[in-house]
Each structure stands twice: as structure tokens, then as C-alpha cells.
Chains A and B, each alone.
Chain A
Amino acid sequence: MIKDMIDKQVLELKKLWMNKRQLLFQLLNLAMIVFSALMIWKGLMFVTKSESPVVVVLSGSMEPAFQRGDILFLNNAVEQVGVGDVVVFKIKDRDIPIVHRILKVHTKPDNTVELLTKGDNNRVDDRGLYAPGQLWLKREDILGKAVGTLRYVGMVTIALNDYPVLKYVLVGMMGLFVLTSKEG
């Protein structure tokens, strides 16, 4: 059955290759989808002032509030973060941002802040996670404050991360789809 399907797809691709006008149209279609996704992402980045407006929870350190695979929407346009806020922060020389809750806020006379965070499900605060010698987080370490959540949607991302091959398969399939499917 799968071979049958692949044959069909190949046939469609061949047909498409002959019909240059159709090919161009489908390619434009594909480009439009890619660029609208990019536009939405960049638009969100602009509105939220966050370099990553949507993140997927990767660990269980905030359970039961957030589980692996939940999606968080971040807002970094807030001037001040307060005690108790769930924030996403980045540690120097570490790739993966962390979602935890603010435990301490020390506001300096010039309104800068020094913060300490902790995961709801962790026993101790995050000092051990920070860069060596780092005692406090600054406002600029914070990528955004969590303002909303959607459950389970991030599972796809986790699957894609755990099995990188899946990424190419999925993208390839989607590309093929857009190319070979016809309107109506």
C-alpha cells in the first residue's frame, strides 16, 4: 500500500515537472505558507519583545503546574517582573532556557533588580543551576514572563527533538504535500 502511495506521489511530481506553470504556482504556495509562519513568529517577537515568544516545557521541575509538553506564551514587554511570577530565563553559555518561579526580588535604587528563582517541584532554589559564581539573575537574563498556557501541543516538539530524523520526514512530507495537492 505504501509503495502504491509513493508511486502515486512520484507520478504526481513527474506530472508537475512537465507542467512548469503549475510547478511555479505550487512553489509559490509553499513559499507563502513558510513566510506566513515566519511572519506570525516575527510579529509575536515584536509585540512581546521576547526573542522566543512561545516555549515548550521540557522538564518536570514546575509540576504540577506545567508538565513536559505544555506550551507557554511569554511576554517580555512588562517592565518589571514580580515575586511569584513564572519566568523563562537563560543562563550564559547554556542553550536551553529554564522555566521557573521567582522567589526573591531585590530592587536597587536605580530600579534594576536582582532575582532568585526556584522550580515549584524542586527542593532547593536555582543557585546551583546558574553560571559558576552567579548569585542573582538580572532583568536582561529573562526571556519573558509566562502569561498563558496550552497543554500537550508541545509534545510534537519534544518528539521532534528526541528523534531528529522525524523532523526531516515531517518537513519533507509537508513539502511534498503542498507541491502535489491540488486546489479543489
Chain B
Amino acid sequence: MHTVWVRLNAVVFFGLSALLGFSVLAAISKIGHANRHVPDVKTLKLKRLKSLKSHGGVDRALLNFDLHVDLNPAFHWNIKQLFVYVVASYKSDKNKNNQIVLWDKIVEATDPPESKIIKQDSIFVKYALVDQGADLRGRDVELQIMWDHMPLTGLLYMGEQDKSTVSSFTLPYDYTSGR
């Protein structure tokens, strides 16, 4: 019985299968790309601690940092955007580890190549470094840049700055309100 319905069904089904097939092909075409092409992190370090205060019972630090990174290598044709973020991690008495995003940026694949190079000094944090308690004073804080590859279709995967190049700093032992 070759009614319109049967034909419509066949066309839709074939279309969907083709779409799925191409999506899978697109996804597997770039497997392993992240191992060979890693963004080049030149600098990520504290520039200036603006303040370290007690803010409603919890400690809060505001700071500026320098960031020089070339993100171009991470892009390929199945990447829609890169989500780049700077993470501060430290240990406290209450917690084994604390990881806090200080700053993030969405870099889209359609952006021109030169804007995929971040070369900025003294970036002010987007999100303050806030502890769960009052335990930031004198803590060693590591700054690390990480990025999330968001594909057009397929698998999401993460990347991060090599641990050996990660910079750290020690917060002052007393509250400061900056210079």
C-alpha cells in the first residue's frame, strides 16, 4: 500500500537516520584532537589583591589577575564554542578542597582568530573568591585555567592548564582593604 503516509514516513525516517549518521560521523571525525592541539597558556597569575574582608560572616577576596592564552588550537570544525574559566582552588579547615570559578568567558567559533587569543593584564574577577566560612586568611590559592569544548554535535570534553605551570599565591594573614 503506497499511500502518502507511507511515503512521508519513509522520507522522514530516512532524513532522521541520515542526520543521525552525519552527526555521529562529525563527532568521531575529531576524536583525539584535544591530545594533539592544546591551547597555549603563557601566563595566568595574580596581579593584585584588591581586598580580603569579612563579608556577612564569610571571607571574601577580590583580586585582579593576568591572563595570556592562545585558544586557537582547541578549535576545529565541530566546535561551536569554548567555555573558558579561571578556577581558584584552596584547602580550608572545614573542606578538603574548594574550587571556585573567578572568571569565565565564552569564545565562539565564529569569532575572528585574533579574539581567540586572550592577552589581558589585570582582569578583575567576575565572581568573588568567597569561602564557605571565615577561613581565607593565610591560605595558599592556586589559579588554573580550564576550558570546556562545546561541540556542534557529539561529545563534550574538558581541557585544563598543565599542572606544572599552575601559579599560586598566599592570601595575607590579616584582612586588608587593598591599596
Q: Which A residues lie at the B interface, using CB under 8 A?
A: 5, 8, 12, 64-66, 82-86, 101, 103-109, 111, 114, 120, 125, 146-151, 153, 173, 177, 180-182
Main SS of chain A's interface residues? Answer: mixed
Q: Is A86 a contact partner of B3 (Cβ separation < 8 A)?
A: no
Partner of A177 from the list B5, B81, B95, B158 (CB cut-off 8 Å) is B5
Q: Is A84 a contact partner of B9 (Cβ separation < 8 A)?
A: no
Which residues of B sit under 8 angstroms from A8, Cβ to Cβ? 1, 3
Determine if B85 is an interface residue (Cβ-Cβ < 8 Å).
yes
Determine if B132 is an interface residue (Cβ-Cβ < 8 Å).
yes
Q: List 17 A-B contacts (CB under 8 A).
A: A8-B3, A65-B106, A83-B87, A83-B99, A84-B85, A84-B101, A103-B127, A104-B99, A104-B100, A105-B97, A106-B99, A106-B132, A107-B96, A109-B96, A120-B106, A149-B156, A181-B1
Could you tell me the distance between the alpha carbons of A149 and B79 in the complex, rounded to whole angstroms?
12
Q: Is A103 a contact partner of B156 (Cβ separation < 8 A)?
A: no
Tell me the minimal C-beta distance from B45 to chain A in angstroms.
19
Determine if B154 is an interface residue (Cβ-Cβ < 8 Å).
yes
Q: Is A149 a contact partner of B132 (Cβ separation < 8 A)?
A: no
Tell me the minimal C-beta distance from A9 to chain B in angstroms.
8
Could you tell me the distance between the alpha carbons of A150 and B127 in the complex, rounded to whole angstroms?
31
